[in-house]
Amino acid sequence: MKIATLSCACAIASVPGAVLASFVVAYDDAADATYNSGWANGSNGGYGFGAWSHSAVGTQSMGDSNTNGALGGPGINIGGRAWQAELNPGWSGAVSGRTLGSYGIGDSLEVDVDFGAAGTPGQGVAIFGSGDVCQVQAIGLSSGNLLINTTSTTITTSVPYSDGGYRVTFGIVNATSLDVTIQSFATSVSQTYNVAYAPGSGVQSMTLQTTNPPSGQAVYASRMKVTSA
């Protein structure tokens, strides 16, 4: 009887369409003890990710995402804090970033971000590989929705701007496409969009970005996770 049961279980496991387990292969958050003394260039909490790399024309520290913008929350703090990245006025581009380890086709990257009082043209979070990029951008207008920018197009999403924070998920579907899911913590709105994205063969990276920000305008992140099927 035991042998028959085992054979049945094996047969079920081999049926096409069977649900496969997924595994967290990389994780880090702002509550990690690595950041107790600050968010230094080269710091690397959690596991599975590369070390943080900071722009020399910016300021990086541990901050309170609830103070980012006028609404006061809900924010994205973990353990009462988040990574706070601010680029100097007059500069544009990546303010902080890191490589994503084994992240590739079939994997999903989740990042909790807070764009705060973003002004036009705003702030963003992006992934990029050896030949492509995908960015989720907040333009900061009270009536505006978040954007998804790729090398080939810009999509205006149905997710409204808020300074309450978002969970952004980048799921690499195959060698030519990416599913981008944006969930608003302030409104609970969640939308998924499929966009063209070619990860290439190299290691993928994630960056927090800003464009010519006014003084004091920061982009926050607090949690990131890569899940692999």
The mean per-residue pLDDT over the stretch 122-144 comes to 85
pLDDT at 163 over 90: no
| Residue 222: per-residue pLDDT | 97
Mean pLDDT of 224-229: 94
4 has pLDDT over 60: no
Find tokens 């060698």 and name the residue: 175
Given a cut of 80, whether residue 3 has pLDDT beyond it is: no
Amino acid 19: pLDDT: 57
Residue 126 has pLDDT above 80, yes or no: yes
pTM of the model: 0.88
Q: What is the pLDDT of residues 57-102, one digit of tens each?
A: 999 999 999 887 665 567 899 999 999 999 888 888 999 999 999 8
The CA distance from 116 to 132, in Å, is: 27
3-state helix/strand/coil string of 82-124: EEEEEECCCCEEEEEEEECCCCCCCEEEEEEEECCCCCCCCEE
Higher pLDDT, 32 or 116: 32
Q: Report the alpha-carbon distance of residue 97 to residue 123 in Å, rounded.
A: 14
Which one-letter amino acid corresponds to residue 73?
Answer: G
Cα separation, 168 vs 113, whole angstroms: 7
Angle, CA of 142, 109 and 115, to the nearest 5°? 20
Q: What mean pLDDT is reported for the chain? A: 86
